[in-house]
Structure 1
Amino acid sequence: MESQHDAILDLARAQGLLRPRDLTALGLPRVALTRLVRRGQLVRVGRGLYALPDRPVSEHASFAEVARKHPQGIVCLLSALRFHNLTTQSPFEVWLAIPNKARAPRMDYPPLRIVRFSGPALTEGIEAHMIDGVPVRITGVAKTVADCFKYRNKIGLDVALEALRDAWKGKRVGMDELWQFAKLCRVANVMRPYLESLT
């Protein structure tokens, strides 16, 4: 039993966050999670998510929690802006892009705001970042800016303009990249006057 507990704790160190199904894949009993929580060697950070009690937690820990439970989701829009330091807003929800026909994931915490993407909008401009030991898929800067213009009715044109200005001023994006994603997200006509005013 102790060797099982050690194996689970090693897994928690390696992955940052554990799900019960991670144990099943290794032939370890799920009930061991409950025992380790009782002993104080693991903590339950959310429904079906466990971690070491002393693990370092970053300001983007909620993204790691969402990614561990829903690895196909992509952190986008306001959450991606926050990650890239392109907004002063701090959304309480995690904005998550999923495929058009996928079932919407549910979590008690953190709350999710689901957006549906399809085709190249779902696959292009996605970066993988390690957050608290968990690989998290997040839209890149140029894609995030274009997405903000596409979803300007949900998040506000002022937010999209702030993101564009900050990304450009901070030399985080080039004009070619912005045009590429403006076309991909079908907002080239909307973005054109703002892009032209930058040059």
Structure 2
Amino acid sequence: MPTDVTQRQRLLEYLEFHAPARARELEGVGVSAATISRSVLSGEILRLGRGLYGLPDSTPDTHETLIEVAKRAPKAVICLTSALAFHGITDQLPRRVWIAIGARDWEPKITYPKIRTVRFREPYFSGGVEEHQVGGTTLRMYTIPKALADAFRNQRLVDRSVAIEALKAAIEQRKATPSAIAEAAQTYGAWNQMRPYLEAVTSNG
């Protein structure tokens, strides 16, 4: 049927640039639930989770879970180990996506992907936020200096060894200057915890 063929083309074209996508997004661009189901059965697309779809031959997006969380909780900010991993300064792959919300914000109810929510009061929540366009979605993410400050400030949530290695990686890879890192640590209450490690890394350099 021409209509079905047209919907299938629209489905594949949308997923080419916006995967992973939820059923409601696909229906919003004119793809019926029946077309989605048939495309899954034929193997043209994959069902990644409840109501979540992608292409089988696409290169796996390491930020796929971040994209999905950003779609479900657009006001949240990706933080702590998830932010360090996004910036490429830790080898840790968190099992859950770490997100920060404001002290009075409603906590997002997301079953997939798994999330870990922390509440940051001001200025810790709003400060040091940047936006990245990934897979057609805006990711709100803490900058490297802010993410490092948060990691050192929250030793209960981020192991100190992970924070130290991320600090070293950020400086060695020239992804952030020592002065910017120090300024963020002072601004966001992590200077006492970070200072000896920052001084050690810079003196060895």
Structure 1 window deviating more from structure 2 (119-128 vs 37-46): it is 119-128
How far has the Cα of 1:101 moved from its partner? 2.8
Aligned to 1:170: 173
Query: What percentage of residue pairs aligned between the two structures are identical?
Result: 34
CA 1:130/1:192 → structure 2, altered by over 3 Å: closer, same or farther? same
Identify the residue that residue 124 of structure 1 maps to in structure 2: 127
RMSD over equivalenced CA pairs, Å = 2.6
Residue 134 (structure 1) shift: 4.0
Q: Decide whether aligned partners of structure 1 residues 81 and 20 sit closer, same or farther in structure 2, where only a CA change above 3 A counts.
A: same
Distance 1:67 1:36 in 2: 26
2:149 pairs with 1:152 = no
1:179 paired to 2:179: no
Q: Which residue of structure 2 lines up, in the alignment, with residue 84 of structure 1?
A: 87
- TM-score, scaled to structure 1: 0.82
Aligned to 1:38: 41
Shift, 1:116, TM fit: 1.9
**CA shift for structure 1 position 192:** 3.4
Question: Measured at CA, do residues 118 and 39 of structure 1 come closer, stay the same or move farther in structure 2, by a change above 3 Å?
Answer: farther
Count of residue pairs brought into register by the alignment: 199
The TM-score, its normalising length taken from structure 2, stands at 0.80
SS at structure 2 position matched to 1:161: helix
Determine the structure 2 residue equivalent to 1:94.
97
Q: Residues of 2 paired with 1:99 and 1:22: CA distance?
A: 27
The structure-2 alpha-carbon separation of the partners of 1:98 and 1:47, relative to structure 1 and needing over 3 Å to count, comes to farther
> What code does the residue aligned with 2:94 have?
P
1:6 to 5, 9, 12: 9
State whether residues 20 and 64 of structure 2, in contact with CA within 8 Å, keep that contact through their aligned partners in structure 1.
no
Equivalent-residue separation in structure 1 for 2:98 and 2:15 (angstroms)? 26
Deviation at 1:147, TM superposition (A): 0.8
